[in-house]
Each structure stands twice: as C-alpha cells, then as structure tokens.
Amino acid sequence: MGDIETYIHLRNSGIALVEHIPGTPDELRALGADASDAAELSHLHQVYFGPTRFTGKQRKARTAALQQRHSLGTLTLIETYTSKVKKTLDAWNLRAKLAATPAHRIRQVATARLKELKRKRTAK
C-alpha cells in the first residue's frame, strides 16, 4: 500500500484510529502532526475514549460509529452538531443517535433533532 492509500485507509478507519491516539495535542505535535490535525484527533479521542459521566452513552456512540464505519471526517461532522447543544446529556443523546445514523443521512437527522431541541428549550 502506498502513502496515499495508507492515508485514506487511516482516515476511513474512524473510531479504530481514534482509540489509539495519544492523549494531548502536544503529544501529537511532538509526533509531527500539524496543529489542526492534533486538535481534531485529540478532541475525538477525548470525546469517545476520555472520562465522562455518561460512560454508557459513550460506549453506545463508539459501538455505533464502529458499526456504521464512520470516517474521521464523519466523526468530526457529528461533533460539529453536538457542539451546538448546551446540555451535556442532550449532546450525548445526539452523538449516540448520529453515530448510529448512516453517514449520508447525518446532516438531515441532526438538523431535525436540533430543531426539536430548540423547540423544547423555547417551550419552557
């Protein structure tokens, strides 16, 4: 396998790659990663493998992302939607739902769910 094929294979491996990321962006920078890649990979590792009060939801999201074979790009897309949610529990529920969604439907499902959450907030 050449360099390009290896790169594509690693980006497409998603959760399997994220699991093996060393903890901090500084550690990744020391390995030669640029700042944006280091931040992205470190953040994904923290979300899917770091400490959280919602370990069951974290495990569910990891398993779903693995089953859906989500790439790094898809995991990052999921995080762009979860970052729009204020409550941690709602963010984890959205993350688990999107991780279980086929990649081509994530935008549609996320948009609908974010609208529901917004209505729920304003209804109170």
Query: What confidence score (pLDDT) does residue 10 get?
Result: 81
Mean pLDDT over each residue of the chain, to the nearest integer? 93
The per-residue pLDDT for range 60-117, each reduced to its tens digit, is: 999 999 999 999 999 999 999 999 999 999 999 999 999 999 999 999 999 999 999 9
CA–CA gap between residue 76 and residue 70 (Å, rounded): 10
| Largest distance between two CA atoms of the chain | 56
How far from the centroid of its chain's Cα atoms is residue 59's Cα?
12
Q: Report residue 5 as tokens.
A: 């094929």
Q: For residue 92, what are the contacts with CB-CB under 8 A and spacing of at least 6?
A: 52, 54, 57, 58, 61, 82
Give the pLDDT confidence score for residue 123 in this predicted structure.
Answer: 58
pLDDT digits (tens, 9 = 90+) for 80-89: 999 999 999 9
Q: Which structural domain, as residue segments, surrounds residue 23?
A: 3-123
| Unique residue bearing structure tokens 């939607």 | 81
**For the chain, percent of residues with pLDDT exceeding 70:** 97
> How many domains, in total, are found in the chain?
1
Q: How far apart are CA 96 and CA 78, in angstroms?
A: 9
* Residue 124 predicted with pLDDT over 60: no
Give this prediction's pTM: 0.88
pLDDT top residue among 23 and 35: 35
Q: Quick one: tokens of 102? A: 């086929």
Confidence of residue 12 (pLDDT cuts 50, 70, 90): confident
Which tokens is 91 given?
Answer: 């963010």
- pLDDT at site 71: 96
Q: Does residue 51 surpass a pLDDT of 70?
A: yes
Beta-carbon contacts of 83 under 8 Å, excluding residues fewer than 6 positions away, are 91
